């Protein structure tokens, strides 16, 4: 049996390499970001203002975020890393 897709983390590892960052993003969004991330646009704004992470939009699909991000505030991003990555 192929175990590449057994759980969310393994799927992410297969698609983007290391799942640690994106697992942290999901935990953050589902936890403290729950009130602020009702839409893709509000999630984009909240992550940028709160943790200095600018999500990148796909050119092909509306409201689709790419695996690439841009760090716009190193100090805020450091707080994210301390809270949400292993």
In a domain, 3, yes or no: no
In a domain, 64, yes or no: yes
- The confidence score (pLDDT) of residue 70 equals 93
In a domain, 61, yes or no: yes
Q: With a cut of 70, which residues of the chain have pLDDT below it?
A: 1-18, 60-63
- CA terminus-to-terminus distance, the chain: 28
In a domain, 60, yes or no: yes
In a domain, 2, yes or no: no
Phi, psi torsion values for 72, nearest 5 degrees: -105, -15
- The confidence score (pLDDT) of residue 35 equals 93
Q: Give the residue numbers spanning the domain of 39.
A: 8-84
Phi, psi torsion values for 67, nearest 5 degrees: -70, -15
- The confidence score (pLDDT) of residue 74 equals 96
Does residue 48 contact residue 40 with C-beta atoms inside 8 Å? Answer: no
Regarding pTM above 0.85, the answer is: no
Domain count, the chain: 1
Helices (H), 1-86: 8-16, 20-30, 40-51, 74-84
Summarize pLDDT for 5-28 with one digit per residue, the tens.
Answer: 565 555 545 554 567 888 899 999
- The confidence score (pLDDT) of residue 65 equals 80
């Amino acid at each position: 049996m192929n175990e590449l897709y057994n759980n969310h983390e393994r799927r992410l590892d297969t698609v983007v390499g290391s799942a640690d960052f994106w697992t942290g993003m999901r935990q953050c969004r589902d936890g403290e970001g729950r009130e602020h991330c009702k839409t893709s646009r509000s999630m984009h704004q909240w992550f940028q203002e709160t943790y200095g992470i600018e999500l990148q939009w796909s050119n092909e699909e509306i409201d689709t975020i790419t695996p690439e991000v841009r760090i716009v505030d190193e100090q805020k991003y450091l707080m994210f890393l301390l809270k949400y990555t292993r």
